[in-house]
Amino acid sequence: MPIPYALIRPLFFSFDAERIHDWTLSLLAKTQYTPLSSLYRQDFVADPVRLCGLNFPNRVGLAAGLDKNARCIPAFSKMGFGFVEVGTVTPLGQSGNPKPRIFRIPQKQR
């Protein structure tokens, strides 16, 4: 049974956006091969689509940038995503853009 977003949203929004993002990815990476993954597992919706010569199991994908180190691909698959774009590959790690890199739009907070 998945955790209702309405229950965890106030906790997540009480922390800095980048900190909670990193914490969430860490938690997903640690639980994706455990029974705790049932907390975020969703029923898979088969809706195959072919695009640019590639076959995808469904039309819902996850854009690059969320998991730059590709640590949580199995977790995202359990959430029902048909594909995950993890970003680019570089020979050496890079620090990225200056902070804040993740932010919330106060007008959109409900």
Report long-range pairs for 96-105 (Cβ below 8 Å, ≥24 apart): 96/68, 99/18, 100/17, 100/18, 101/18, 102/17, 102/18, 102/21, 103/17, 104/13, 104/17
Checking if the pLDDT of 2 tops 80, the result is no
pLDDT for the residue 87: 72
Checking if the pLDDT of 23 tops 70, the result is yes
**pTM (2 decimals)?**
0.79
Alpha-carbon distance values, 51 to 38, 55, 59, 64, 82 (Å) = 31, 7, 10, 17, 13
pLDDT for the residue 21: 92
Nearest to 79 by CA among 107, 30, 104, 42: 42
Q: Which has the higher per-residue pLDDT, 15 or 86?
A: 15
Summarised one tens digit per residue, pLDDT across range 83-92 is 998 877 778 8
**Residue whose tokens read 């010569």:** 53
Confidence band for 71, pLDDT divided at 50, 70 and 90: very high
Query: Above pLDDT 90, what percent of the chain?
Result: 51
Cα–Cα distance measured from residue 88 to residue 70, given in angstroms and rounded to the nearest whole number: 10
